[in-house]
Structure 1
Amino acid sequence: MTERLSPGDTAPDFTLTSDTGEQVSLADYRGRKVIVYFYPSAMTPGCTKQACDFTESLDSLKVAGYDVIGISPDKPEKLAKFRQRDSLTITLLSDPEKSVLTSYAAFGEKKLYGKVVEGVIRSTFAIDEEGVITLALYNVRATGHVAKLHKDLHLA
C-alpha cells in the first residue's frame, strides 16, 4: 500500500478522463487551488450525498479560490449519468485502473461492516496553486464532510 500523503507533500500529478470524455490533468489547475476527493461509487447514497454537498457548496468554494474534482473508479458513462441524475456541477473523473487512487493512498485495506476489505478509502485533499497538499483527510464521512472541510480550510 502507498504511504499516506500529508500536508507539505507534492500532490501526485494525474491525467484522467472526465464524464464528458475530456482529458483532465491536475497540472491544468496550476495557479489555482483545488480540492480533490476520492469516493467509492457513483450513484450510491453516501457518494450522492457527498457529491451533492460539493455541488451546493461550489459557489462558496470558488469564492475562496477552490475548484473541486471528484475521482472514482467508475467509467465515464456512469459518471455522466451521475452528473445528469443529480445535476452535479463539479468535475468528475474516472480512474478505473485505480492508479491515481493508489498514488494518493486512497485505495487499499479498509474496514467495512466490521470486515477488512480492499477498496476505495474516502479521502479528500486540498492542493495549493503550486501543487502542494495543504490538507489531507482519510476515512472521511460522506455526510457533513463538506461542512467540516469549510471549517478545516478556515472558510466562512
Structure 2
Amino acid sequence: MKLHVGDPAPLFEGKDQNGNTVKLSDLRGKKVVLYFYPKDDTSGCTAQACDLRDNKEALQKAGYEIIGVSTDDEKSHQKFINKHNLNFTLLADTDKQIVEQYDVWKEKSMYGRKYMGTVRTTFLIDEKGIITDIISKVDTKQHASQILK
C-alpha cells in the first residue's frame, strides 16, 4: 500500500536495540522522524545516522523524536550505536513487518544483481499520527536539514 502525505501513519510495534517494545501509538502527542535505512554501519547509513545524531538537539527543539528502522537485529544495532555514539532509538525489523507496512521493502539492483532490500525513506509524522512529509530522496550527509526545512 503506497503511503501519501495526509495519510495516517501505519501503527507498528517493534523491538529496539535493547529488546524493549516501541509502539508508534505510544508516541502520540509527539512528532516523529521515522527513517528507514538499508544496513547498519555502511557508508551511507552511517553518514545519515551521524547527521541525525549531530543535529538531534535541533530536531528535538522542533519537537521530533527520532526512530531508525532497518532489518538488522538488536545486536547489530547495539554495535552500530556504540561505534558511532548514536543517541536515538533503532528498531530491529527482522521479520520485515514495519518495512512492508510502510512500503519500503522493494526490489533493488546493484551491479546487475536484483535483490530485495529497504529503500532509504523518511516519514515525518505529526502529533496526531498523520504523515506530514515523505522524504524519498535522502541526502545522507544533510538529512537533518531536509527534515527541518
- TM bracket, shorter-chain basis: over 0.9
CA–CA separation in structure 2 for the residues paired with 1:25 and 1:139: 26
Instruction: Tell me the CA shift for residue 97 of structure 1.
Output: 1.0
Match of 1:133 among 99, 122, 131: 131
Aligned length: 149
Instruction: Tell me the CA shift for residue 80 of structure 1.
Output: 0.6
Partner of 1:20: 18
Q: Deviations over 1:105-134 (max 9, x none)?
A: 111123435654321000000001111100
Whether the 8 Å contact between 1:35 and 1:69 is mirrored in structure 2 is yes
Whether the 8 Å contact between 2:73 and 2:94 is mirrored in structure 1 is yes
Partner of 1:143: 141
Match of 1:93 among 91, 94, 102: 91
CA–CA separation in structure 1 for the residues paired with 2:39 and 2:109: 16
Partner of 1:47: 45
Whether the 8 Å contact between 2:15 and 2:91 is mirrored in structure 1 is yes
Q: Deviations over 1:10-50 (max 9, x none)?
A: 10111111101111111111011011000011011111110
CA–CA separation in structure 1 for the residues paired with 2:62 and 2:137: 24
CA–CA separation in structure 1 for the residues paired with 2:29 and 2:110: 38
Partner of 1:82: 80
SS state at 1:46 partner: helix
Instruction: Tell me the CA shift for residue 90 of structure 1.
Output: 1.2
Instruction: Tell me the CA shift for residue 146 of structure 1.
Output: 2.3
Instruction: Tell me the CA shift for residue 144 of structure 1.
Output: 2.3
Q: CA RMSD in A?
A: 1.4
Query: Match for 1:46: what amino acid?
Result: G
CA–CA separation in structure 2 for the residues paired with 1:115 and 1:141: 24
Output the TM-score relative to the length of structure 1. Answer: 0.89
- Which stretches in structure 1 are left out of the alignment for 5+ residues? 152-156
SS state at 1:131 partner: coil
- Which stretches in structure 2 are left out of the alignment for 5+ residues? none
Alpha carbons of structure 1 residues 139 and 109: separation in structure 2 relative to 1, 3 Å: farther
